[in-house]
Structure 1
């Protein structure tokens, strides 16, 4: 699987963005209730970008989602969840403090350098299985750490944790169109990232559910 991206080199950091952000995908702030809803293209590309983040520990992956098109029937609920956020994916070895993200983001001007990156879905699936197999251990600590800063959900974690998240996005893209109500254009809950996030004993712990919703253009195109 190949994905087109834009690469930026700033202050010794490499930042990658999708060539075009997913247009029909939105993420509500998990500080209230994290809800990520997208069409098949958006969910598949998110899976690929999470898989790329898993394999590229020296690269910061930024996925702009705030400027996407309104999602019919979903915008009100996304706003209730705290409004749209972008995504930032950071390998835990990068030692990049998220408080520096707004300053770095301001430097990402211009078109960037076009790149095509290859995503190995089989390797991603193996890494995800390794994460699941270890996740049942009592001393397991390999989770994605979520921090919301500057209208961006920053997720920091390991290769296997990002791979586990990538597999959930691929599953949502594959299974979503077959769920009851999906063919009528309704958003349908498919899976979540909550079990991959840092555990929290607080009953208000962060959750991120993933829903599929076909955009109206998909029906007009007969897909």
Structure 2
């Protein structure tokens, strides 16, 4: 997949960060933070681009991926306050409390186009799933919510696996039975590491497909598009 991004390299103290965000907004995609269950609701374009962004994050260990989601079209169903999304490797050392200052410095960006390798992402996901039970590596994302932003901190394998999940949701969501009527369809969920003091209550984010209105424009894959009748030809 080709991703059109904007790249920023702000400096805070002695440290320079690399931050990228989509060049155009994911207008019909929204996210609410888990309390204890969050909701990511997106159309085909939004879910597909998130698959690419998670794949890019997986193989960009020193890059912070910022996905603004608060200013899109408000969804007509769901729950919770909308938040932005930030993806970062554990090794970056980003703290959620640092984000407001860092975000204020994202002012002079440079256009950047990258390509993701879906085949590589799928292979790494399968390898990770096969060895997960035999490794001591963390198998859940760390997370935090701060300044109306939801943060996912993880490893290459976790981001690659989520890229695969988003690709599945984007590809199969349009086939769901009630999608043409505008109903959201649950596709998958991401499990999150349990923060201290939660009493072991599971935390997750539900990922759902939903076409954007007006729903008359939406056609399931394989359906014929409605064609306008050709104007009569003058004799």
What is the TM-score of this pair, normalised by structure 1? 0.90
Does the CA-based 8 Å contact 1:134-1:140 persist in structure 2?
no
Choose from 210, 225, 231 the match for 1:213.
210
Equivalent residue number for residue 198 of structure 1: 193
> What is the rounded CA distance, in whole Å, between the counterparts of 1:92 and 1:139 in structure 2?
15
* Count of residues in Structure 1 that have an aligned counterpart in Structure 2: 214
Indicate the SS of the match to 1:53: helix
Q: Give yes or no for the alignment of 1:170 onto 2:170.
A: no
Equivalent residue number for residue 123 of structure 1: 120
> What is the rounded CA distance, in whole Å, between the counterparts of 1:217 and 1:46 in structure 2?
23
Equivalent residue number for residue 153 of structure 1: 150
Q: Shift of residue 198 of structure 1?
A: 2.1
Counterparts in 2 of 1:118 and 1:106: CA distance versus 1, 3 Å: same
Counterparts in 2 of 1:22 and 1:218: CA distance versus 1, 3 Å: farther
Does the CA-based 8 Å contact 1:47-1:170 persist in structure 2?
yes
> What is the rounded CA distance, in whole Å, between the counterparts of 1:30 and 1:117 in structure 2?
30
Unaligned runs of 5+ in 2: 221-235
Does the CA-based 8 Å contact 1:31-1:148 persist in structure 2?
no
Q: Shift of residue 218 of structure 1?
A: 6.3
Indicate the SS of the match to 2:211: coil
Counterparts in 2 of 1:189 and 1:131: CA distance versus 1, 3 Å: same
Equivalent residue number for residue 181 of structure 1: 178
> What is the rounded CA distance, in whole Å, between the counterparts of 1:136 and 1:39 in structure 2?
33
Equivalent residue number for residue 4 of structure 1: 4
Q: Shift of residue 57 of structure 1?
A: 0.6
Counterparts in 2 of 1:138 and 1:58: CA distance versus 1, 3 Å: closer
Equivalent residue number for residue 42 of structure 1: 46
Choose from 22, 28, 36 the match for 2:26.
22
Q: Shift of residue 180 of structure 1?
A: 1.7
What is the TM-score of this pair, normalised by structure 2? 0.85
What root-mean-square deviation, in Å, do the aligned CA atoms of Structure 1 and Structure 2 show? 1.8
Does the CA-based 8 Å contact 1:21-1:64 persist in structure 2?
yes
> What is the rounded CA distance, in whole Å, between the counterparts of 2:218 and 2:176 in structure 1?
20
Q: Shift of residue 192 of structure 1?
A: 1.0
Unaligned runs of 5+ in 1: none
The one-character-per-residue Cα deviations of 1:104-127 (angstroms, maximum 9, x if unpaired) are: 0011124x1111111000111111
Q: Shift of residue 63 of structure 1?
A: 0.2
Equivalent residue number for residue 85 of structure 1: 83
- The structure with the largest alpha-carbon Rg is 2
Q: Shift of residue 43 of structure 1?
A: 0.3
